[in-house]
Amino acid sequence: MSNILNTATVEEYEYELDPNTHVEVTKGPISSTSDEPKVDPVVTLDKVCAPDYIDLGDTFTIDYILTNVDVGAAGPNFNNVTVTDTIFTMTTYATITGSTNFTSIDTGTGVGTVDLTSVGGTLDPGESITASVTFTSIGVPVNPSQFVTTAIALFYDVPIIMTTNDTCGSIIRNGDLTISKVMLTPSPVYVGQTVTYQITITNTGNVDSEIEAGDFTDYPPLTDLTDIALVAPPASISFDGTKIYNTVDITLAGGASLVITFTAKVI
Amino acid sequence: MKEIINTATATYQYTIGTQSITKSIGTRNVVVIDPCHPEDPLLRLTTMTACARCCQPLWLVAAVEGVSDKTTHFVFTADFDKKYRPLPEIFVNDVPIVGDLRRGVSLCVGAGQTLRITFGAIFPCDYSPCCICKPLCEKVTALTRICYIPCSIQRLPKYVYSNPVSFKVL
């Protein structure tokens, strides 16, 4: 809250003191100031993100609750409200699958224009509107590192333009593993030849992933291969004559890989 | 064609908030086994003497080593320069056979075996009345080769050459 100060001033004035001598008196200045309190309009943006944690492929929703707070006086009637949020531009990582109370969302500029139809075309003091966007995550964002972004709301009742912002976002937790098995020996191979296999397990996500003991298995076809020998195996990997497997739990951090190499003779 | 089919699988877990996610992955590797091992026989050529005399036979030995796991059938041929000619006498592992090494002699070598082909060559008489040979006083080179059809899909003939052997004719 602030005050409106308004001052009126008379710099100088004169009057005749003696009508016989015509002596005049000069005075001034005089002034008077009006000091009246001013009530500023208040707008708020409450950005609500749910759920807090998601996996790749999951859906998440952001609500933008926009309010023209009733401050007890005739305030502005906003006829245009926009929400600017970086997440609208992160189309590589999240696809917009639905929206409510938006007339448009520009994925290039990140500006969403709020549809005020449901509040009669203007957001009057005491009114609130919720605009929502639903996304499906398709990738793990790098910058920002997650879907945590700041939204900026602009309320227009020209010449009054008010702005406010709020921050939240869903966080991807993904520990997807990929596995590949290749023969390092050029194909085709021949009976009697010793060949080398390499198995690579990679965590393509951003959180730890755990393979419990015995949950990784590789059964070399013993009808075609013999003399199977692990090459510099990780301590957790063993061959029991039938299968190659992990003897203890293996934790793979995001981006980490486990490489298992073994040789065998073709029979 | 026979294949080696090899699979690897893994089951793993990670958490999203309070929720534990369990997933499985697998991979399959298929490699073709070629029943033929196209390893060329090894062919080495040596001569018993470093020099030769005109109108006198020079004896050479070619060793053919079968490195394949199967018997290899081949045609053995010898080439000389400067009018040197191979003799018809040929010994395979000291057993005499008859053949023309210029046209080729059909032989075979077993898996892991080495065939020892001994053959002679001579610089022939110049048909003078006394059949007097004149010393060449120069180097003569001999080279042998074998031709065989490898066990492959194309089954195209393949040539394997020996090391060249040179000797002086006195």
Using the Cβ of A207 and the Cβ atoms of chain B, whether some distance falls under 8 Å is answered with yes
Answer yes or no: do A61 and A120 share one domain: yes
Q: pLDDT grade, residue B129 (50/70/90)? A: very low
List the single best residue of B1, B2, B4 to mutate versus A (max A Cβ within 10 A): B4
**Distance (Å, rounded) from C-alpha A27 to C-alpha A9?**
13
Using the Cβ of B152 and the Cβ atoms of chain A, whether some distance falls under 8 Å is answered with no
Question: Partners of B129 in the beta sheet?
Answer: none
Please state the domain count of chain A.
Answer: 3
Mind listing the pLDDT tens digit for each residue in A177-210?
Answer: 999 999 998 888 888 889 999 999 999 988 999 9
Answer yes or no: do B48 and B27 share one domain: no
The boundaries of the domain holding residue A9 are 2-38
Q: What's the length of chain A?
A: 267
Residues 51-70, chain B: which have Cβ within 8 Å of A?
Answer: 69
Q: Domain end: A147, A172, A197, which one? A: A172
Q: Domain end: A123, A148, A172, which one? A: A172
Backbone conformation region of residue B135, classed left if phi is above 0, alpha if psi is from -120 to 50, else beta: beta
Backbone conformation region of residue A139, classed left if phi is above 0, alpha if psi is from -120 to 50, else beta: beta
Answer yes or no: do A151 and A186 share one domain: no
Q: What is the pLDDT of residue A144?
A: 67
Fill in the DSSP letter of residue A213: T
The boundaries of the domain holding residue B67 are 42-169
Mind listing the pLDDT tens digit for each residue in B73-112?
Answer: 899 999 887 777 888 889 999 999 988 888 899 999 888 8
**Does B31 contact A195 at a Cβ distance shorter than 8 Å?**
yes
Mind listing the pLDDT tens digit for each residue in A213-257?
Answer: 999 999 999 999 999 999 988 889 999 999 999 999 999 999 999
Prediction ipTM score: 0.71
Mind listing the pLDDT tens digit for each residue in A116-127?
Answer: 999 999 999 999
**Does B9 contact A176 at a Cβ distance shorter than 8 Å?**
no
